[in-house]
Amino acid sequence: MIGGAGADKFFLYDSSTQRSFYSNFGNADYADITDFTAEDRIVLGSTESYTFSAHGAHTNIFIGGDLIAIVRNASTELVQSRLQYVGSVPA
C-alpha cells in the first residue's frame, strides 16, 4: 500500500462487516505498507486484539498469530502512536 502526498489512512479493518482485512489466510496475505510517516494513520478494529513486533526496521502487525501487515521503515513506537480504532467494543 502506498499513500499519496500528505496524511494518509491505511485501512486494515472494514467497519461495515466488522472484520479485519488480511486475517483469513495466515501469513500468506497481508498489507505491505511502504511509505508510512508520522502524518499517517492505520485504521484497526476496536473489537480485535492486535500485537505488534519489530522486525529489523519494520513493524509487523498480527491478529493472534496471523500477520496482517508489514509497515516498512517504521518503528513499532511510531506505528502504535498513529493508530485509529473503529467499531464497537462488545459489552
Gap between the Cα atoms of 82 and 42, Å rounded: 6
| CA atoms of 87 and 3, how far apart (whole Å) | 23
d(CA 28, CA 40) in angstroms, rounded, equals: 25
CA distances from 69 to 57, 89, 90 (A): 14, 22, 24
pLDDT-based confidence at 91, cuts 50/70/90?
A: very low
pLDDT at residue 90 in the model = 47
Q: What average pLDDT does this structure show over 69-78? A: 97
- Span 26-45, mean pLDDT? 93
